Amino acid sequence: MNAARRRTIPDGLPNRVYQKSGSWYWVPKNGPWIKLCRVDAGEPKMLERLAAEKRKRESDETGSGDMPARVAEYVREKRAEHREDGWHYYGDYVKRVFSDVNVRQVDNAHVVDFLGLWKGKLAMQRALRAFLKGFFQWCREKRYYAGENPCNGIKLKQPKPRDVYIPDDHFALIRARLEEQNPMILCLVDLCYLTAQRSTEIRSLLWKKDGDDCNWVDRDNGVIHFMPSKTRDSSGLAIDWPITPEIDAVLERARSTGKIKSNLVIHNQNGKFQSDTSALAVWKRACKAVKIEQSYTIKDIRAKALTDAERAGYDVKEIKDAAAHAKISTTETYFKQRNIPVSKIVLKIPKSA
């Protein structure tokens, strides 16, 4: 249906609202089709959702500058390309701070001042700088911005590597709780450990190949093909991980978990992609239930796996290849100190001459 075409027969629907495949959609000017609700949910629900969507769109255009509207356009166009669930929220921060600024006015000093609002929060500063850098590159491509990218040349401190190791006893307690609480998240945790991959790769793992850049289970060759999302646009490093008996058992557990099946090995109860936020929430509830006070996260499982591999005697180069790292120095940041050394030096108080 052409959203720009006027209706020849009045149907009583609000302007730019259309019925399609049993649902009502609103099609804002120069925007995508936005689903409001199912037709059987009723017209009051449709009108309520329409008002909410209009308010949301209007909030993107508040202030005297054009930055909010441009950022909103950028997020709508690029959101599907980003795996991070909260990526679009970075745009909200930008819209609020730059509400009275035009895109063409922004320079290096504007960006420095903006990042200074998160002084001491190095990870957040780097994430926002990356968002703005991508935004202004997009603006240059759209001819909204003619100058050099204002994020160029801005240097930020490197956050210190997270120095957390999950002891075996704590890991066992968390796993036991997850087995009762959410068996699918337990499969996620086990695969993260057994393959030493990031949770992003495990949550996007497929039973069957779907494209050249996917992570998928290759039963015919007895391996899992990993193309880590962090390396796809940089080093391009990949890793084939053998399906050991223990990994195979976890895969079968995942296959038999839940009533709704999916091409995703790890999925939510609706067969859809398991978000990192919901998986982390389940993990944290399990930690709380077994009275673990340390702030472990699912990301710490990879560090545990690589540390355990190093302690088991595997060569650091083998571990680097398994982790799909380009440099050994990157791998070494994952090794955590498990044992506090005991000094063998014995001193005595010297006697006076």
**Residue bearing tokens 């850098």:** 133
* 10-residue averages of pLDDT along the chain (353 residues): 49 82 83 85 85 70 82 91 82 92 95 93 92 96 94 89 89 96 96 94 94 91 89 74 95 92 92 90 95 93 92 89 81 67 76 67
The full DSSP string for 124-187 is HHHHHHHHHHHHHHHHHHTTS--S--TTTT---PPPPPP-----HHHHHHHHHHHHHH-HHHHH
Structure letter (DSSP) for residue 312: T
In what helix (H) or strand (E) does residue 226 lie, and over which residues does it extend?
Answer: strand 223-226
For residue 61, the model assigns a pLDDT of 55
Tell me the domain boundaries of the chain: 17-59, 67-141, 168-332
168-332 CATH fold: hpI Integrase; Chain A (1.10.443)
For residue 167, the model assigns a pLDDT of 94
In what helix (H) or strand (E) does residue 69 lie, and over which residues does it extend?
Answer: helix 67-78
Dist. CA 159–CA 105, nearest whole Å: 30
For residue 211, the model assigns a pLDDT of 85
Sheet with strand 34-38: strands edge to edge: 17-20, 23-26, 34-38
Between helix 183-195 and helix 300-311 the angle, nearest 10°, is: 40
For residue 8, the model assigns a pLDDT of 53
Integer CA distances (angstroms), 226 to 5, 52, 207, 284, 332, in order? 46, 41, 12, 27, 21
